[in-house]
Amino acid sequence: MRIAAMLSLLTNLSLAAQQSPRAGSSLTLPDLPEVRLPFVLRAVNDPQNGRGAFSFDGREIPPVIRTTPGSQIRVEYVNQMSSRSGENCVDGPCMNMTNLHFHGLHVSPAAPQDDVLSMMAMPGETLRYVVNIPNDQPPGLYWYHTHPHGESYQQSLDGMSGAIVVDGIDRYVPEVRSMKERILILRDAELHPNDPVSLRLKDRVQVSPSRCGSQNENPERIFTVNGAVRPQIGIAPGEKQFWRIVNASPDLYADLEIDSEQMTVVALDGMPLAYHDPGRRTEQFHHLLLAPAGRVEAIVTGPKMGSKASLRSLCVNAGSDGDPNPAMVLADLDDSVRATPSLSPGRQSQTPAVYKPLSHSLTSALEKSEPQFVVNFTEDKKGFYINNKKYAPTDGPMTTVHIGNYVHWRVMNNTHEIHPFHIHQVHFLVYRQNGEKANRPEWMDTVNIAPGGSADLILDFTDPIIRGMSLFHCHLLKHEDKGMMAKILFR
Ligand SMILES: [Cu+2]
């Protein structure tokens, strides 16, 4: 974050503190605008600091897109960024080209849908997206972000992203209908060495001074929540709320924990736990690792009267070549409020619950099989690679798969840092990690691979809607920009 932006952030913080009646308190969690109808989204440069931003309805706040299975997302995406960028991307000054990716949705990779290969808007150009959400899309939290190869990292760091909610999760966990829903988008504020504003921000989120993993470098970022540094989230003692959290950082991991509370998780990466296992509606977690791009949806209970609690990210050891990812406070739970009933109590979605359990014989046959494809992450001083290949936009597909089957892949990390693996259009079951059978196999669309480690996945390539050219890549977006990406053809 440039100095001007930091100063304005701090001004906002102090303004909020002045307005708050309670000593020591500060800003509350900002609300996010929502949109359901066709809408216009603009890519702009912030007039104060020149950084890329999304503008919606005259404000620089990306809306939450709400949609339902069987309907459409219609967005007119207008690139009003300057053709001369003040920001640097991996190959020099950014060109400010941009597009949209609908992360996690089981939709077509062909234009005008989730196509990040041929759809690209240069400054002055407009893209018109019409994305058909299938009837059996798992209802939950997804997100949209820009995906121009070589410029993804900077645009994502600048906050060019937003949440997507596919309605209908209440069919799997009806109790959330009566709870207040909160959408929390985790992004970044940058820290600069020897900068007084950075020091205050670092103090504010209590970046742990103790060594985290093998990194000795100073942390370069802290998390923000809906754009605020360590906001207060109102939740009365004993109140249950439904929190839907997306890690929209380009490269910070969030190992989420709420002091002395467990999170009752109902969905990961937009996928209700019950979707493939009707008997498993919720699962208790003390803490949960959200890789960049990961989502968790959980029931959170307000701590008992008088006990303070915070939402934190724990230290994540990113490996000897990884970036610092220290523990810090993301937000405080504010118990001074009354329980807030849901705005529309008793609302019930019209979408029927879809279940897609896999037979035991199918999963066990796949688990015993040799992988049909192996993804090998490597890196050196010149770049980042999948199967020794640095991505180029002119590449053909690295692999071609025929639609209709569940398929076993292995992802291997032959580097000394962590990498999150993501594939567009589908979810996968993570059933083995580092050669050991997972205690709790989970369906995800982004999974962390440990340094020197591996993950064995069952990918769902069954739906003909995904036909076309698509991508898989590391979701540390600097790595993706530097080549850790490859094409896949679904035919
Ligand atoms: Cu990576």
- Domain presence at residue 23: no
414-428: per-residue pLDDT in tens? 999 999 999 999 999
Cα of 397 vs centre of ligand 1, distance in Å, is: 20
Cα of 222 vs centre of ligand 1, distance in Å, is: 20
Q: Which one, of 109, 84, 104, 103, lies nearest residue 94 by Cα?
A: 84
Cα of 422 vs centre of ligand 1, distance in Å, is: 10
pLDDT at 342: 59
Domain count, the chain: 3
- Domain presence at residue 427: yes
Residues 153 and 193 in one domain: no
Cα of 247 vs centre of ligand 1, distance in Å, is: 16
Residues 118 and 255 in one domain: no
114-132: per-residue pLDDT in tens? 999 999 999 999 999 999 9
Residues 220 and 131 in one domain: no
- Domain presence at residue 130: yes
Residues 330 and 371 in one domain: no
Cα of 184 vs centre of ligand 1, distance in Å, is: 24
203-258: per-residue pLDDT in tens? 999 998 778 876 667 888 999 999 999 999 999 999 999 999 999 999 999 999 99
Residues 161 and 180 in one domain: no
Cα of 450 vs centre of ligand 1, distance in Å, is: 11
Domain end marker among 136, 167, 198 = 167
Q: Rounded to an integer, what distance in angstroms lies between the CA atom of residue 237 and that of residue 121?
A: 48
- Domain presence at residue 485: yes
pLDDT at 13: 42
pLDDT interval class at 11 (50, 70, 90): very low
How crowded is the C-beta side of 455, counted as CA atoms within 13 Å? Answer: 26
Residues 81 and 129 in one domain: yes
When the pLDDT of each residue in the chain is averaged and rounded to a whole number, the result is: 91
Residues 97 and 150 in one domain: yes
51-93: per-residue pLDDT in tens? 999 999 999 999 999 999 999 999 999 999 999 999 999 989 9
Residues 186 and 145 in one domain: no
Residues 431 and 479 in one domain: yes
| Domain membership of residue 236 as a residue range | 174-334
pLDDT at 216: 65
- Domain presence at residue 53: yes
Residues 444 and 466 in one domain: yes
Residues 130 and 276 in one domain: no
For the residues 150-174, what does the mean pLDDT come to? 96
Domain end marker among 132, 167, 202 = 167
- Domain presence at residue 16: no
pLDDT at 16: 32
- Domain presence at residue 77: yes
- Domain presence at residue 11: no
| pLDDT exceeds 80 at position 12 | no
Residues 184 and 312 in one domain: yes
Cα of 181 vs centre of ligand 1, distance in Å, is: 32
E strand map for 227-350: 232-234, 240-247, 254-258, 263-268, 271-272, 283-285, 287-290, 295-301, 309-314, 328-334
More confident residue, 336 or 397: 397
Cα of 379 vs centre of ligand 1, distance in Å, is: 9
Q: Rounded to an integer, what distance in angstroms lies between the CA atom of residue 220 and that of residue 475?
A: 18
Angle CA 341–280–289, to nearest 5: 75
Q: The CATH number of the domain where 66 resides is what?
A: 2.60.40.420
Cα of 204 vs centre of ligand 1, distance in Å, is: 29
